[in-house]
Every structure is written in structure tokens, then in C-alpha cells.
């Protein structure tokens, strides 16, 4: 099925929160059925490369009959090995121009930014979307920078030249305020991963987003 770059509800899978590979697979199945529009497999040093490869393969299979794309964080080799739909990189990963050369023109490329300086130096011609954050304090990313807050997010959203997704500490309590900034979507980790009722957690978020968009 043809994939769509829809950032509305972008689920970032954390193996520690989701319960390993099987937990990520199960979470993805339920979340996609209930409104998640994009999936990212985020790298963790605790898992070996072959485990990431197996996890990526399993996720690609689940998403094969859906319009939901699969992004691989950082690991271009795994993205190429399983023919993922895209790659997401951070400021300390491979440069965007090098990543683009490796993945070609047919895959989507996302780039994380956390301040105005990084936004101003973003190579817009090379990327398809940006991730802005962290918006609120978060414990799911160990090397996260200081939280931006809604006011700073609003300013960055006004200057973006590509679609953008907000990430960092976003949950059902604050998602409405985030969407009201004009952002294209929100990236969610702990507000879905590890929840006892994945379906309800996903529906709660997507319903609040739709009330604004």
C-alpha cells in the first residue's frame, strides 16, 4: 500500500517502555488501528544490532498493508537493509547531506531541532520534515536538552519551511495546547508505549488532536 507522510500522531517506539520487541509489535498493531499515522523505531544501546534488524523487519511487516510509514532513528544501515520508508536523524548523527546520499531520493528524511539556531541552519532542501523538542521535560530520552515550552514552540513553528512534529513530554493533558501552536502533529512515546490500554490511550490523543485540527 502507498505510504503517506502524515505527522498527525507519530509514535516513537521505546523498547524499554513497550516491553521489548514483542511489546513494540503489539503496541504498533493496536495503535495503528486506532489512529497513529507514523511509526519510528528509536535506537537503544541496550539492544544489539541484530535485534534492531529483527524488530524493524517485524514492524515493516505489520505496516505493509497500511498507509503508515516506518522510520528508523539514526541507523541508516538498518533502514536500508529492510527498505524502511524513512530515516530520522538528530543533530549529532550523520549530517543530512550524507544521510540523503545514502538513502536516496525515495525515502523520507526527518531531522531533530531544539532551538532557533538549529532551525536557521536546517538544510530544508534535503529533508522532508523536522522534529521540534523537547517541548516539556521528558525522561524517555536520556540526552534531551532543556524543554522549549509552548511559547518557544509557537515561534519555531512560524518559521518552519517543512512539516513539523513536536516531541517531548507530550500527553493527553497538554496535547491540545501543542496542536494549537499550528504544528502539523505530535510525536508520542510514554503516552502510548507501556500503557495498560493502548487502544484507549491512542484514541484519547487522536480525539483531542482532531478537536483542534
* pTM of structure: 0.95
For the chain, list the domains and their CATH numbers. Answer: 9-212 (3.20.20.70)
Nearest to 6 by CA among 200, 174, 187: 187
Catalytic residue among 100, 141, 160, 208: 141
> Do 110 and 71 contact (CB within 8 A), yes or no?
yes
> Do 133 and 189 contact (CB within 8 A), yes or no?
no
Say yes or no to pLDDT of 32 above 80. yes
Average pLDDT over residues 18-34: 95
d(CA 62, CA 31): 11
Residue 143: what pLDDT? 62
Residue 145: what pLDDT? 76
Say yes or no to pLDDT of 36 above 80. yes
Residue 47: what pLDDT? 65
CA atoms lying within 13 Å on the CB side of residue 26: 14
Residue 146: what pLDDT? 86
Say yes or no to pLDDT of 147 above 80. yes
Average pLDDT over residues 111-123: 97
d(CA 132, CA 115): 8
Residue 141: what pLDDT? 64
The band of 144, judged by pLDDT with boundaries at 50, 70 and 90, is low
> Do 199 and 167 contact (CB within 8 A), yes or no?
no
Nearest to 39 by CA among 68, 62, 17, 8: 68
Average pLDDT over residues 81-104: 97
Cα maximum dimension of the chain:
42
> Do 152 and 160 contact (CB within 8 A), yes or no?
no
Whether 43 is a known active-site residue: answer no
List for the chain the helix, strand, coil content (%; round to 5): 40, 15, 45
Residue 138: what pLDDT? 77
CA dist list (Å): 210 to 8, 93, 149, 158, 204: 9, 33, 22, 21, 10
Whether 112 is a known active-site residue: answer yes
The band of 203, judged by pLDDT with boundaries at 50, 70 and 90, is very high
Say yes or no to pLDDT of 44 above 70. no
Burial of residue 92, with CB atoms counted within 10 A of its CB: 0-12 exposed, 13-18 middle, 19 or more buried:
exposed
- Residue 118 C-alpha cell reads as 538549529
State the chain's mean pLDDT as an integer. 94
Catalytic residue among 100, 112, 114, 195: 112
Whether 100 is a known active-site residue: answer no
d(CA 45, CA 59): 19
Amino acid at each position: 500500500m502507498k505510504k503517506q507522510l502524515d505527522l498527525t500522531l507519530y509514535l516513537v517506539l521505546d523498547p524499554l517502555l513497550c516491553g521489548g520487541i514483542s511489546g513494540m509489535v503489539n503496541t504498533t498493531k493496536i495503535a495503528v488501528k486506532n489512529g497513529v499515522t507514523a511509526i519510528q523505531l528509536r535506537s537503544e544501546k541496550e539492544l544489539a544490532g541484530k535485534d534492531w534488524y529483527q524488530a524493524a523487519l517485524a514492524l515493516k511487516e505489520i505496516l505493509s498493508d497500511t498507509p503508515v510509514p516506518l522510520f528508523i532513528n539514526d541507523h541508516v544501515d538498518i533502514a536500508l537493509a529492510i527498505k524502511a520508508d524513512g530515516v530520522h536523524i538528530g543533530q549529532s548523527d550523520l549530517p543530512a547531506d550524507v544521510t540523503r546520499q545514502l538513502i536516496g531520493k525515495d525515502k523520507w528524511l526527518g531531522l531533530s531541532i531544539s532551538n532557533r539556531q538549529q532551525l536557521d541552519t536546517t538544510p530544508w532542501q534535503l529533508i522532508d520534515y523536522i522534529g521540534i523538542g523537547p517541548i516539556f521535560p521528558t525522561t524517555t530520552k536520556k540526552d534531551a536538552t532543556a524543554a522549549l515550552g509552548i511559547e518557544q514552540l509557537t515561534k519555531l513553528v512560524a518559521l518552519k519551511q517543512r512539516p513539523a512534529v513536536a516531541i517531548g513530554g507530550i500527553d493527553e493533558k497538554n496535547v491540545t495546547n501543542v496542536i494549537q501552536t499550528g504544528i502539523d502533529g505530535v510525536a508520542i512515546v510514554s503516552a502510548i508505549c507501556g500503557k495498560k490500554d493502548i487502544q484507549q490511550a491512542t484514541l484519547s490523543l487522536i480525539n483531542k488532536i482532531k478537536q483542534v485540527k
